[in-house]
Amino acid sequence: MIAFGEPHIHLDECDSTSDHARRLADEGAPGGLVVTADLQTAGRGRQGRTWVAPRGKALLYSALLRPLTAAGELLPLAVPLAVCEAVEALAPVKCRVKWPNDVWIDGRKAAGVLIEARADSEGGFAVIGIGLNVAIDDDEFPPEVRAIATSVGHGVSVEAARDEVNARLGQWADRPRSQVIAEFERRDALIGRQVEWVSTAGRHESLSGTARGITNRGELRVDLPDGEEAQLSAGEVHLGGETHRA
Ligand code: BTN
C-alpha cells in the first residue's frame, strides 16, 4: 500500500495540477505528494484535449508516484478502479470503466485519468492526474459534452472525494496484475459492445469490432468481422453508432 496525500498542496488556482506536481517532482518532491486546486486555467485531458471544470465543483487532483515500480505498467487501469471504489464509498451509485480509464456512472463520464510517466536517475516517477466531477450540475457542462458527462452528486463534497481517492489509490497503485485485470473486467463497460476506432498503423482507417475484455498487459481485445482479434494498446475507441467522446 502506498500513502498518498502527504504532503498535500491545495491551490486556489493553477495552470494544471499535473503540471504543478511535475514541476515539484523535478525539484525532488517525494512520492505520495498530492496537488489539488479549486480551478485550473490550463487543465489537460488525454489525446491533447483540454479539461475544464467550474471552480470548486470537481476534484482536480494530481498524485506523485515515485519511484515508478513494475506495477506502473497497469496504472492506467488501476487508477480508474480506485476512483470507482472511492465514488461508491461516498454515494449510492455504481461505477464502470470505459477502457482505458474513464469512469462512468449510468453510461456517462464522471471522471477522466491522465497518467504521465518520466524516467530519471532515481527510478522515474509518474504524475497521476484525476479529474472527478463531484458537484457539477448538468447545465454547467459545456454544451458539447452535456449529454455524455455527469457528476457524483448526492451532496458529496470535493474534500471527501479527495480523502477517499487518496485512500483507494494507495490500495490500487501496487496491486498484483491479476487483481487489476480481474476487477477491470468486472467493471468493463465495453465488454460485448460494438466499438469503433481509427487505425493509426499505415493509413488512417476506420475499424470496428466487438470488445472482448483486456489482455493481461491491459490492451483492449476486439473481435474483428473477419474472425481475427485486434489488441489495442493506446488511443481511443468509440461506441458503435453513438457519439461518445472521452
Ligand atoms: C481525460 O481526458 O479524460 C483525462 C482528464 C484528466 C484531468 C485531470 S484534472 C487534474 C489533472 N490536471 C490536469 O491538467 N489534468 C488532470
Place of cell 475544464: 52
**CB-count burial class (<10 Å; 0-12, 13-18, 19+) for 236:** middle
C-beta 127 within 6 A of ligand 1:
no
CA atoms within 13 A on the CB side of 165: 31
What is the pLDDT at residue 53? 96
Find residue 198's DSSP bridge partners. 206
What is the pLDDT at residue 2? 87
C-beta 17 within 6 A of ligand 1:
yes
What is the pLDDT at residue 245? 34
3-state secondary structure of 51: coil
pLDDT tens figures, 1-51: 889 999 999 999 999 999 999 999 999 999 999 999 999 999 999 989 999
What is the pLDDT at residue 125? 94
Pick out the chain residues at pLDDT < 70: 70-71, 201-203, 241-246
Length of the chain: 246
C-beta 60 within 6 A of ligand 1:
yes
Nearest CA to ligand 1 atom 16: 129
CA 121 to ligand 1 center in whole angstroms = 26
**CB-count burial class (<10 Å; 0-12, 13-18, 19+) for 113:** buried
Query: pTM of the full predicted structure?
Result: 0.94
* Closest atom of ligand 1 relative to the 130 alpha carbon: 8
If one residue of 11, 19, 41, 44 were mutated to test the ligand 1 pocket, choosing by the most ligand atoms within 8 A of its CB, it would be 44
C-beta 50 within 6 A of ligand 1:
no
What is the pLDDT at residue 246? 28
What is the pLDDT at residue 46? 92
How would you classify the pairing of strands 125-133 and 194-199? unpaired
Give the number of other CB atoms < 10 A from CB of residue 234.
11
Nearest CA to ligand 1 atom 10: 60
* Closest atom of ligand 1 relative to the 111 alpha carbon: 3
